[in-house]
Amino acid sequence: MAAHIVTVMTKIEETLKIALEAHAGQEDLDGNPAILHPLAVGLMGNSDAEIKAGFLHDVVEDSSMTLEDLKNKGVEDEVIAALALLSHDKEKVGYFEYVENIIASGNVTAIHVKLNDLHHNLQRGKVSYEAAVASNDAAKIKELERINAKHEKALEMILTSRDAATLCFAMR
């Protein structure tokens, strides 16, 4: 049993190293290290696959790494399948169609990670919005209102989808 735990932890640690490498030097809208978001999403996971996919969920979108690169680094097929769904190609697919694709896939890992992603985005979005209001930053307020509304709608889409909701709550 102990050997299994070490093996699993090593693999999770390896995905964390990949995420750290991919997001090195990147910052979020508030100037914080970008890696903090994938760390939070990964730590919200309830399975090894969810933790790994959470750590890696922004790698393909926000770095030069591809799904093939991740596969070549030893990331498991289950995680790659979730990441394929979680990686939004903004030039080809609109945001809400992207969310619908995740829902329609029935991929429990992808759905759970997207839920965790949205929850964390809304949590930090609220904090950022309050700071923008306090500093009277009209441009940032407007941008955060747009982003937060998009994330709230996506969260509602998942939670009101009978199939996704059944998968999400049956697996928790």
Q: Could you tell me which of 163, 157, 46 has the C-alpha nearest to residue 100? A: 157
Kindly report the backbone phi and psi dihedral angles of residue 75, in degrees, each rounded to the nearest multiple of 5, phi listed first: -70, 130
Read off the pLDDT of residues 46-68 as tens digits, 9 standing for 90 and up: 999 999 999 999 999 999 999 99
Planar angle of CA 154, 160, 166, nearest 5 degrees:
115
Q: Could you tell me which of 19, 53, 51 has the C-alpha nearest to residue 35? A: 19
Read off the pLDDT of residues 69-104 as tens digits, 9 standing for 90 and up: 999 999 999 999 999 999 999 999 999 999 999 999
What Å distances lie between residue 40 and 2, 53, 146, CA to CA?
A: 26, 12, 22
Beta bridge partners of 27: 33
Please state, rounded to an integer, the average pLDDT across all residues of the chain: 91
